[in-house]
Amino acid sequence: MQFPDVFEELSFESCRPSHAEDALRRPRAIDAHEVGGTTVVLATKLVDPGKGPPFVVLVIAQQRGGTYSVFGGLRLYAGDAAVELADDPTATFAELIDRYGLRYQAGGVTSKFSALLIEPPLAPGGSPQFLAGVEQTERMALNAFIKPTRDHVEIAWPFVLDGERYLADVRAARAG
Protein backbone atom coordinates (compact mmCIF):
# COMPACT_ATOMS: atom_id res chain seq x y z
CA MET A 1 0.00 0.00 0.00
CA GLN A 2 1.39 3.40 -1.00
CA PHE A 3 0.39 6.85 0.20
CA PRO A 4 1.22 9.52 -2.41
CA ASP A 5 2.24 12.98 -1.23
CA VAL A 6 -1.29 14.28 -1.89
CA PHE A 7 -2.82 12.05 0.80
CA GLU A 8 -2.68 14.60 3.64
CA GLU A 9 -3.91 17.42 1.38
CA LEU A 10 -6.83 15.48 -0.07
CA SER A 11 -7.71 14.16 3.40
CA PHE A 12 -7.57 17.66 4.93
CA GLU A 13 -5.35 16.07 7.60
CA SER A 14 -8.51 14.54 9.10
CA CYS A 15 -7.70 10.90 8.30
CA ARG A 16 -4.44 9.26 9.33
CA PRO A 17 -2.82 6.75 6.97
CA SER A 18 -3.37 4.01 9.57
CA HIS A 19 -7.16 4.60 9.43
CA ALA A 20 -7.15 4.56 5.63
CA GLU A 21 -5.05 1.40 5.58
CA ASP A 22 -7.42 -0.27 8.06
CA ALA A 23 -10.42 0.71 5.93
CA LEU A 24 -8.81 -0.90 2.86
CA ARG A 25 -7.67 -4.03 4.69
CA ARG A 26 -10.94 -4.54 6.61
CA PRO A 27 -13.61 -2.55 4.78
CA ARG A 28 -17.29 -2.59 5.51
CA ALA A 29 -17.71 -2.44 1.73
CA ILE A 30 -15.53 -1.88 -1.33
CA ASP A 31 -16.33 -0.85 -4.92
CA ALA A 32 -14.00 -0.85 -7.91
CA HIS A 33 -14.61 1.21 -11.03
CA GLU A 34 -12.70 0.81 -14.31
CA VAL A 35 -12.02 4.16 -15.96
CA GLY A 36 -9.83 4.24 -19.07
CA GLY A 37 -7.43 1.56 -17.87
CA THR A 38 -7.41 2.90 -14.31
CA THR A 39 -9.04 1.00 -11.44
CA VAL A 40 -10.49 3.47 -8.96
CA VAL A 41 -11.24 1.86 -5.61
CA LEU A 42 -13.65 3.23 -3.01
CA ALA A 43 -13.69 1.58 0.41
CA THR A 44 -15.81 2.42 3.44
CA LYS A 45 -15.61 1.66 7.12
CA LEU A 46 -18.13 2.59 9.82
CA VAL A 47 -16.51 4.16 12.90
CA ASP A 48 -18.27 4.62 16.22
CA PRO A 49 -15.87 6.65 18.36
CA GLY A 50 -17.99 6.35 21.52
CA LYS A 51 -17.78 10.10 22.05
CA GLY A 52 -19.59 11.92 19.29
CA PRO A 53 -21.63 10.58 16.41
CA PRO A 54 -20.61 7.63 14.24
CA PHE A 55 -19.16 8.42 10.83
CA VAL A 56 -18.16 6.71 7.62
CA VAL A 57 -14.51 6.71 6.54
CA LEU A 58 -14.31 6.83 2.75
CA VAL A 59 -10.99 5.83 1.19
CA ILE A 60 -10.20 6.77 -2.41
CA ALA A 61 -7.45 4.71 -4.02
CA GLN A 62 -6.06 3.52 -7.32
CA GLN A 63 -5.24 -0.15 -7.82
CA ARG A 64 -2.48 -1.41 -10.08
CA GLY A 65 -1.85 -5.10 -9.89
CA GLY A 66 -1.86 -5.95 -6.19
CA THR A 67 -0.79 -2.48 -5.04
CA TYR A 68 -3.08 0.28 -3.80
CA SER A 69 -2.11 3.94 -4.04
CA VAL A 70 -4.28 5.64 -1.42
CA PHE A 71 -5.07 9.22 -2.46
CA GLY A 72 -7.35 10.24 0.38
CA GLY A 73 -9.43 9.31 3.36
CA LEU A 74 -12.39 11.43 4.40
CA ARG A 75 -14.99 11.37 7.17
CA LEU A 76 -18.65 11.65 6.34
CA TYR A 77 -21.04 12.30 9.20
CA ALA A 78 -24.43 11.09 8.07
CA GLY A 79 -26.49 10.57 11.22
CA ASP A 80 -28.97 7.73 10.85
CA ALA A 81 -27.87 7.16 7.25
CA ALA A 82 -24.26 6.32 8.27
CA VAL A 83 -24.80 2.55 8.28
CA GLU A 84 -26.57 2.62 4.91
CA LEU A 85 -23.81 4.74 3.37
CA ALA A 86 -21.07 2.55 4.85
CA ASP A 87 -22.60 -0.38 2.95
CA ASP A 88 -22.33 1.49 -0.38
CA PRO A 89 -18.99 3.21 -1.12
CA THR A 90 -20.23 4.68 -4.41
CA ALA A 91 -23.23 6.28 -2.68
CA THR A 92 -20.88 7.60 0.03
CA PHE A 93 -18.65 9.15 -2.64
CA ALA A 94 -21.69 10.70 -4.35
CA GLU A 95 -22.84 12.17 -1.03
CA LEU A 96 -19.35 13.58 -0.41
CA ILE A 97 -19.31 15.25 -3.84
CA ASP A 98 -22.87 16.53 -3.36
CA ARG A 99 -22.00 18.13 -0.01
CA TYR A 100 -18.48 19.41 -0.61
CA GLY A 101 -17.79 19.33 -4.36
CA LEU A 102 -17.07 22.56 -6.22
CA ARG A 103 -18.11 23.18 -9.82
CA TYR A 104 -15.28 23.22 -12.35
CA GLN A 105 -14.71 23.02 -16.08
CA ALA A 106 -12.56 20.27 -17.56
CA GLY A 107 -12.46 19.14 -21.15
CA GLY A 108 -15.52 21.25 -21.97
CA VAL A 109 -17.60 19.73 -19.16
CA THR A 110 -18.90 21.87 -16.26
CA SER A 111 -19.79 19.82 -13.20
CA LYS A 112 -18.80 18.82 -9.68
CA PHE A 113 -17.60 15.42 -10.88
CA SER A 114 -17.10 13.56 -14.11
CA ALA A 115 -16.88 9.78 -14.29
CA LEU A 116 -15.80 10.13 -17.92
CA LEU A 117 -12.25 10.01 -19.17
CA ILE A 118 -11.34 13.56 -20.18
CA GLU A 119 -8.67 14.67 -22.62
CA PRO A 120 -8.10 18.32 -21.74
CA PRO A 121 -6.70 20.71 -24.34
CA LEU A 122 -3.02 21.55 -24.09
CA ALA A 123 -1.80 25.05 -23.25
CA PRO A 124 0.74 26.67 -25.59
CA GLY A 125 3.57 25.35 -23.40
CA GLY A 126 2.27 21.80 -23.70
CA SER A 127 0.81 21.40 -20.21
CA PRO A 128 -2.83 20.32 -19.88
CA GLN A 129 -5.45 22.99 -19.24
CA PHE A 130 -6.89 20.94 -16.46
CA LEU A 131 -9.43 22.83 -14.42
CA ALA A 132 -11.02 26.23 -14.85
CA GLY A 133 -13.90 28.06 -13.28
CA VAL A 134 -13.46 26.57 -9.81
CA GLU A 135 -15.07 28.58 -7.02
CA GLN A 136 -11.93 29.40 -5.05
CA THR A 137 -11.84 28.76 -1.33
CA GLU A 138 -8.90 29.17 0.99
CA ARG A 139 -8.60 25.43 1.43
CA MET A 140 -9.43 23.08 -1.43
CA ALA A 141 -8.47 19.57 -2.45
CA LEU A 142 -8.17 18.45 -6.04
CA ASN A 143 -8.03 14.84 -7.12
CA ALA A 144 -7.86 13.14 -10.48
CA PHE A 145 -6.27 10.02 -11.84
CA ILE A 146 -3.90 11.20 -14.58
CA LYS A 147 -2.48 9.08 -17.39
CA PRO A 148 0.07 10.84 -19.61
CA THR A 149 0.48 9.43 -23.12
CA ARG A 150 2.87 10.42 -25.85
CA ASP A 151 0.81 13.29 -27.29
CA HIS A 152 -1.88 14.04 -24.69
CA VAL A 153 -2.98 13.58 -21.10
CA GLU A 154 -6.04 11.62 -20.04
CA ILE A 155 -7.76 12.55 -16.78
CA ALA A 156 -10.23 10.32 -14.97
CA TRP A 157 -12.52 11.15 -12.05
CA PRO A 158 -11.61 14.79 -11.47
CA PHE A 159 -13.19 16.47 -8.47
CA VAL A 160 -12.47 19.47 -6.25
CA LEU A 161 -13.54 19.56 -2.61
CA ASP A 162 -14.27 22.63 -0.49
CA GLY A 163 -12.07 22.00 2.52
CA GLU A 164 -13.40 24.92 4.52
CA ARG A 165 -16.95 23.56 4.46
CA TYR A 166 -15.73 19.98 5.04
CA LEU A 167 -13.59 20.90 8.06
CA ALA A 168 -16.36 23.05 9.53
CA ASP A 169 -18.69 20.03 9.44
CA VAL A 170 -16.04 17.72 10.96
CA ARG A 171 -15.37 20.18 13.80
CA ALA A 172 -19.10 20.66 14.44
CA ALA A 173 -19.69 16.88 14.57
CA ARG A 174 -16.75 16.34 16.94
CA ALA A 175 -17.98 19.13 19.24
CA GLY A 176 -21.44 17.81 19.00
Determine contact, residues 88/29, Cβ cutoff 8 Å: yes
Q: Is the dihedral of CA 79, 80, 81, 87 positive or negative?
A: positive
The tens place of each residue's pLDDT in the chain, 176 residues long, gives 899 888 998 899 989 899 999 999 999 999 999 887 788 999 999 998 888 889 999 999 999 888 899 999 999 999 889 999 999 999 999 999 999 998 887 767 788 887 766 676 666 776 666 666 666 666 777 777 776 666 666 777 888 889 999 999 999 998 87
Residue 163, amino acid? G
Torsion of CA 97, 100, 104, 110, to 10 degrees: 50
- Structure pTM? 0.86
